[in-house]
Amino acid sequence: MKDYKYVGKKSIRIDGKAKVMGAAKYTDDLEFGPNLLHIAVLSSPHAHAKILGIETSEAEKVPGVKAVISGKDFPQKFGLYLRDHAIFPNDKVRYVGEQVAAVIAKTKKIAQAAVKKIQVEYEVLPNIQNALDSIKPNATLIHPNLGNYEVVPWLYPQPGTNIGHVRKIRKGEIDKAFEEADFILEDQYHVPHVVHAPMENHIAVALFDYEDRLTMWNSTQSPHTQRNILASCLNIPHKDVRVIAPYVGGGFGGKAGISMEVIAAVAAMKVPGCPVKLAWSRKEEFENSSQRQELFAKVKMGVKNDGTIIALKHELFWDVGASAEYGSNVVNATGFSAIGPYNIPNVYIDSFAIYTNRPPCGAYRGFGYSEFHFGLESHIDRIAKKLNMDPIEFRKKNAIKEGDKVAYGVEMGPTGLRECIEKVAEKIEMGKEVISDDPDKIIAKGFACAWKAPAMPPNESSAAFIKFNEDGSINILVSGMELGQGYLTSMAKIAAEVLSIPLEKIRVEHPDTDRNPYEWQTVASHTTWSSGNAVKKAAIEAKGRIIETVSRALNYKKDTLYLEDEMVKCTVDSNFSLALKDFVINGIQMKDGTFRGGPILGTGIFMPEFTSAMVDPETGQGGHPNVHYTTGAGAVEIEIDKRTGRVRVLKMAEAFDAGKVLNPDLAKGQIIGGFMQGLGTALWEEVKFDENGKILNPNFTDYKIPTTLEVPDEMYPIFVEVAQPDGPFGVRGIGEHTMIPVMPAVGNAIANALGIRLTEVPFTPERILAALEKKGK
Amino acid sequence: MKKEIIFKLNDEMVSVTVDSDELLLDVLRDKFGLKSPKRSCGRGECGACSVLLNGKSVRSCIIFAVEVAGQEIITFEGLQKEGMTDLQKSFLEHNSFQCGFCTSGVTITATEFLQKNPKPTVKEIKEALAGNLCRCTGYSSIVDAIYDYTKKKGE
């Protein structure tokens, strides 16, 4: 394998000093001067109610109030894939916490006081709190105008129902395969709503100035996508919408696309010349940003006695909440991929986006894959047990290989899945019994595989600019977001490797849609691959210009010139070297005093030109909806206290095929961070609603996320490197994947420990004790 | 009701007029421009707004500014007047942050803890930091950085 100087080597993060010294500025840390106004939002107390009237005159009279806005000012709808979300609803509210009106005032305190004076007359409607109720005939329609909404051509809303989209896969002959199966297992699994809980809540600042241009400073994963949605929704030319994205205090998918930022944007339009700030409280973050879809999954799998999986029927009923503007694509992506990382010839998948009167759901680290893997990987263990097969061997036997056909009929690319399975099984010592010294405690192990493809429109793209400075340092302009994953460092390393420039001489700029070139969004674990390809191309272009300049000025043949340690060198003249800093701006001086060259720039773009979302809607066949899959496996060793039902993870291991690891420490950080986030969803996290759709636990006392105390004593992040042919240096993404195996691995460990199968997460002590009691009877 | 308060802030005596219900967090951020304490949970649950009050780490989102009259406050900014501290260097080396939003609060808590317990075990570090939420790192790199710092310091 080629030895790289920067790629794959340990390094200090290029945003490290800014973060450990507190120099990193997040949106709320920016100063906007004495004209800054503040927004408070009136949210709906009802899950479903007609709006009969909104009376704002009392609120307008409060001293310090500049304006009050509602749906009569801004009746537009917005959305990423399906425009079903009102900026402010005029007809009815669809979830508790939905914005109904907003006050813009000199201080937040005044705005909050004035909001209480807005009178809204509602007629309460029956509300739907469960996706399975929502698809019953005669259920109240949450979006009666579903048929009139704008939608991308590859999603299929079902007007007259509460179904925002359905993705179907039909491959092989499913009925025949079930007839031929030696053993069939059928069951249902449930994964509730959870929240992203980034430490920084959503925040947006907007300025609509006197030349009618809209500038926003947002905590976002998607500056260009936000610009596009704002421009088209508010009818402002794209050139006049500018989104600046400072450091982000955690995203996890929750800051992908657009949500509350639209409120700040329209508020700014009401008070031209004054910046306006909208900062969600933690409660608002729970109620009105986005959540992870709830999933009711039906899994039916047929196998032969030799352990070959021959049939899978997987029905996914997703509660996407009151808006499917983004969540519809989670439903779509999982529909294409709900076979998991296995070679299954006969497949039937239905994946439904179902509206309920719950908060809108959208992207969440894993993009639906965590949820469906829970059922699928639980099922795999159960079937292996029935067949008297080692679950690891069962997985290896059926694991998808390069060239096998995935559910939509396209060939699987290179994959190190088997190696991942073997390495994790070895590290966690699957099959080796461990006995606790404490007779009340049982130690057991559980395993799960995982895969995920980036879920993207077929024409997503990335672009990059590289510009040299007088001292030979470079600035890289890109529009991916540093969410903590190490994006800036990864992009710097790619350029460093091509241009032979040390990381200390590279700055990667945060997005500003005016100055930085296009990036679709920082989602889907696709940015290192996609934006990385653009940066690599930009670096190659800059390198070409360097070599062209030197060749032209000094008469060396181009193919004899190369870059090393910030210098241009020559293969046939070992005495020649020219430092980049000597000419990358000012050029090379000739004998007659004239100069050759000029500022060195590089541009790069990347679009996966082989993808297509246009498939047969009845079978899912005929297109190429995904670019590639990243595969891997995870396992845990847990200890359960039989008296309390409490589960503690003692040891974990995860392995993923990253293609090529750019930053070893940062990649490990993705495994450990993703594992802990997954552990939260396995053991504690669940948004609790009352029967009227009100969240009962919108805070960190009642909604518990992992703390230091739950960190396993032993953690083993492992990487396998089977190169991604079209990835920069062979890279493919791993950021979301690390969460995916956790729920089923813990569930399988509990089953191995106690002989009880929990088909619902989180695995709370109450659930475990109840299952034990039931088993005892 | 407005009130003028005087207190020591990062080694300097300061005075400021505040509303009686104004939070210390808001006063530090909006009136002194000290942006290291972060707004997050608003209920003292996550630790992102931590500052030192007379050397003890407290949650500035649940303390009224008037309560600190005559007291001493040190923020994250005040810890690094001499440049990057050895603890911060250890955080940098161990990548003990991802998004970085919790970092100042974690550093404040760790600073207080290490003054009381300069040679902690890993378990003691985990217990001391259990009130600082981080959604990105999974904590192990934070615990490693603190433990490694104490080991190096002990050498």
Question: What's the pLDDT score for residue A655?
Answer: 98
- Report yes or no: A281 at the B interface, CB cutoff 8 Å: yes
Query: Of chain B residues 51-70, which have a CB less than 8 A from chain A?
Result: none
Residues of A serving a catalytic function are 736
pLDDT computed for residue B65 by the predictor: 98
pLDDT at A777 over 90: no
Local confidence band at A776 (pLDDT 50, 70, 90 cut-offs): confident
B73 in the same domain as B15: yes
pLDDT of B70 reads: 98
Instruction: Give the tokens for residue A344.
Output: 């299954």
Provide, as residue numbers in chain B, all residues whose Cβ is less than 8 Å from the Cβ of A20: 84, 88-89, 91-92, 96-97, 100, 103, 107
Which residue's structure tokens are 């996914």?
A: A316
Residues B75 and B6 in one domain: yes
Same domain, yes or no, for B96 and B146? yes
Which structural domain, as residue segments, surrounds residue B122? Answer: 86-154
The token pair that represents A235 in the structure block: 């009818």
Query: Number of C-alpha atoms within 13 angstroms, CB side, residue A625?
Result: 26
Q: Do B58 and B120 sit in the same domain of this protein?
A: no
Number of domains in chain B: 2
- Least Cα distance to A606 among A727, A434, A497 occurs for A727
The reply to whether B54 and B122 lie within a common domain is: no
Domain shared by B6 and B50, yes or no: yes
A520-545 per-position pLDDT tens digit: 999 999 999 999 999 999 999 999 99
Rounded Cα–Cα distance for residues A752 and A3 (Å): 44
Chain A CB within 8 Å of residue B137 CB: yes
* Domains along the sequence of chain A with CATH: 16-24+461-606 (3.30.365.10), 32-125+199-250+255-287 (3.90.1170.50), 294-456+613-776 (3.30.365.10)
pLDDT at position B155 is 73
Whole-number mean pLDDT of chain A? 97
Judged against a pLDDT cut of 60, whether residue A289 lies above it is answered with yes
**Cβ <8 Å between A199 and B38:** yes
Choose the final residue of a domain: B29, B54, B79: B79
Which of B51, B79, B107 is where one domain is finished?
A: B79
Here the CATH number for the domain that contains residue B31 is 3.10.20.30
Chain B neighbors of A252, CB-CB under 8 A:
135
Q: Tens digits of per-residue pLDDT, A245-259?
A: 999 999 999 999 999
Q: Are residues B12 and B73 in the same domain?
A: yes
| pLDDT, tens digit, 9 for 90 and up, residues B53-84 | 999 999 999 999 999 999 999 999 999 989 99
User: Which amino acid is present at A146?
Assistant: L
Q: What is the mean pLDDT of residues B73-98?
A: 96
Residues 248-277 of A with CB under 8 A from B: 248-252
Tell me the mean pLDDT in the region A217-236. 98
Contact status, residue A387 vs residue A744, Cβ threshold 8 Å? no
Query: What mean pLDDT comes out for the span A604-631?
Result: 97
pLDDT of residue A90: 96
- Contact call for A22 and B43, based on CB within 8 A: no
Cα separation, A679 vs A289, in Å, equals 22
In this predicted structure, the answer to whether residue A317 has a pLDDT above a threshold of 60 is yes
| Chain A residue numbers touching B32 (CB-CB < 8 A) | none
Find chain B residues with C-beta within 8 A of A674's C-beta.
138
Give the separation between CA A35 and CA A19, rounded to whole angstroms.
29
- Does residue A218 carry a pLDDT above 80? yes
Q: Considering B79, B113, B138, which residue would you say is the last residue of a domain?
A: B79
B12 with B68, same domain?
Answer: yes
- The total number of residues shown for chain B amounts to 155
pLDDT tens for each residue of A131-140? 999 999 999 9
Both B47 and B105 in one domain: the answer is no
| pTM to 2 decimal places | 0.98
pLDDT computed for residue B154 by the predictor:
80
Whether B19 and B75 map to the same domain: the answer is: yes
In this prediction, residue A568 carries a pLDDT of 98
The percentage of residues in chain A with a pLDDT greater than 70, rounded to a whole number, is 100
Residues A158-192: tens digit of each pLDDT: 999 999 999 999 999 999 999 999 999 999 999 99
pLDDT tens digit sequence for B107-148: 999 999 999 999 999 999 999 999 999 999 999 999 999 999
Pair A680, A742: CB distance under 8 Å: no
- The type of residue at A22 is G
> Which chain B residue has the Cα nearest residue A246?
B99
Residue A1 in this model has a pLDDT that exceeds 90: no
Cβ atoms of A165 and A135 closer than 8 Å: no
Supply the CATH number for residue B97's domain: 1.10.150.120
Any A CB within 8 A of B22 CB: no
Q: Are residues B48 and B101 in the same domain?
A: no
Q: Which residue among A18, A484, A676 places its CB closest to the CB of B139?
A: A676
- Residue A182 burial (CB count, 10 A): 14
Judgement on whether residues B52 and B67 belong to the same structural domain of the protein: yes
Rounded distance between C-alpha atoms, residue A192 and residue A318, angstroms = 10
Angle at A495 between CA A489 and CA A500, to 5 degrees: 115
